[in-house]
Structure 1
């Protein structure tokens, strides 16, 4: 039952004897915290936990006690719930920023597992050496190329990746300064904003909002959302995403990310932590580009597209969600 935790500790983080690990968890995720702590102790490492009750969330700033622990930790694991009736994650931006950046500035590495659930265990128990091989091959295919994404529902968008750094999320969190998610399994970058034109049809899920029930269209010019309209009637998810786009406009309407899922054990459940890793999907984000592009804001909203066809310089590498190129 703890195999997923053993893999995270031994294969992803590669915890070594004598290391100090800090876990941040809440009530819903205490079982996963216990599993990880058990495996960490089994590796002859030391583990400390911070329990974050729902009543004090959102946590808007980090405490001195948190800071001291993060600075001294060799590894940090974050397992907090991402949904709640009164939970506004935008107010936890500063807390998450320091939780990730402080360990990396010193000697630590960070494993982010926000909203981890039972459905994600299989996606954590994959062949990471194979994921690494395929990620690197796909990165080489995409580097500095012109890309076109199409779907049967009407997505048809073009953009360039010229001189844009492509990041690999292959689950390797073994060295100081590394940061990543579990489940892992994507490559991502930021399109060259002014080259992105066309239409997206969103039919997968939206970060923080869940699975899309009513697909909707987004028309884009020079990397900025020009208009949006539902295919059918408007629903709550469409309305909420429309609101998010106005939070810090135009930054929240500017493209900030393009990614391709590569995890064969992942499936769409409405949580972007795993959804964006599903093989046979692509995702775009609007808002902050994490330093990979020009967009900068405290907001970053991912949108998932199912069963895409991907063209690289007019060469089709994926057809309706299936790789046809050898990666």
Structure 2
């Protein structure tokens, strides 16, 4: 009977997030772990008169791994693509190319059944849209960014000429968003990031989750040069080294959490929307406006960021100055 409660969130997705119309084709890309969520989404889509196809794959081995070619090709021909999966495929060529073909894509990575019932899914996404777009527009118009935090972050980035991405869980043709995080982000110019990141909120990957102690990351000329901290830092450090790819250390993203309903819990798409947090993404940047494709994309979250764009304070903790 839990599915009856989950249908409320599924209906929010169909009506408010993708504006599904009768007769449209919906492709649900899932894996063998997330099939129950896919089933509820399919029921809500059928309820609205859509043509629904569910493609189930083996769970990916890591975030950022491409889906099978058969599924990737199918994604290009759907009106709506919903992606409830265990490991993120957000930062993949498959998502990028499906968006370029006009699909409306919504990514539900590491979703739990409870996330369709309460939490970030309860937010009024359209009401949040103006703030989210305002921060993204400020990024798009900006050049020099300085990120600091009480925990010790002190990072400089150059975002000259880079787009600002507003992910507020509502998509038009050619757009993708994650859900239920609401965030504005941008991808810095490759090689431009310098300074220090202190993640003291969450690293919602690799089983790390909510942080017990800070992870300190040194950055030079766009790449991580050192990672230190306790046990959780070692998990991150060992995983990045295991891929034997320098692009895993690329500074790929600056993102700001903007969903007042999200709560820090160690699950990526809840954590990244939390106010007042910011995150620094590392690894792949191709879906955000950058040029780097890596085997991974992870996000390092900090509390109470202060973000200055060209000397003007844009974000200061839970305050956004537009």
TM-score normalised over the length of structure 1: 0.82
2:256 aligned with 1:241: no
Pick the aligned partner of 2:301 from 301, 304, 309.
304
Which structure 2 residue ranges, 5 or more long, are not aligned? none
**CA deviation vs aligned residue, 1:197-239 (integer Å, no higher than 9, x gap):** 2211111222422222221211212222222221xxx20x211
**CA deviation vs aligned residue, 1:292-326 (integer Å, no higher than 9, x gap):** 2353323222111112222233333433x22152x
1:140: how far off?
A: 3.2
Change (3 A) 1:119 1:305: farther
SS in 2 for 1:245: helix
SS in 2 for 1:113: strand
Pick the aligned partner of 2:50 from 31, 45, 48.
45
Instruction: State the aligned residue count.
Output: 308
2-side partners of 1:239 and 1:185: how far apart? Answer: 29
2-side partners of 1:169 and 1:194: how far apart? Answer: 25
2:210 aligned with 1:211: yes
The answer to whether the 8 A contact 1:282-1:304 is kept is yes
SS in 1 for 2:133: helix
Corresponding residue of 1:85: none
Corresponding residue of 1:229: 228
Q: Map of 1:1-327 to 2, 5 A cutoff? A: 1=5, 2-26=7-31, 28-52=33-57, 62=68, 64=70, 66=71, 69-82=74-87, 97-98=93-94, 100=95, 103-104=98-99, 106=101, 108-121=103-116, 122-142=119-139, 143-175=141-173, 177-209=174-206, 210-230=209-229, 234-235=230-231, 237-246=232-241, 247-290=243-286, 292-319=289-316, 321-323=317-319, 325=321, 327=322
SS in 1 for 2:180: coil
The answer to whether the 8 A contact 1:205-1:275 is kept is yes
The answer to whether the 8 A contact 1:276-1:283 is kept is yes
The answer to whether the 8 A contact 1:120-1:266 is kept is no
Which structure 1 residue ranges, 5 or more long, are not aligned? 83-88
1:51: how far off?
A: 3.9
1:276: how far off?
A: 1.4
1-side partners of 2:169 and 2:235: how far apart? Answer: 32
The answer to whether the 8 A contact 1:23-1:48 is kept is yes
Change (3 A) 1:310 1:35: same
TM-score normalised over the length of structure 2: 0.83
Higher relative contact order (CA 8 A, sep 6+): 2
The answer to whether the 8 A contact 1:15-1:174 is kept is no
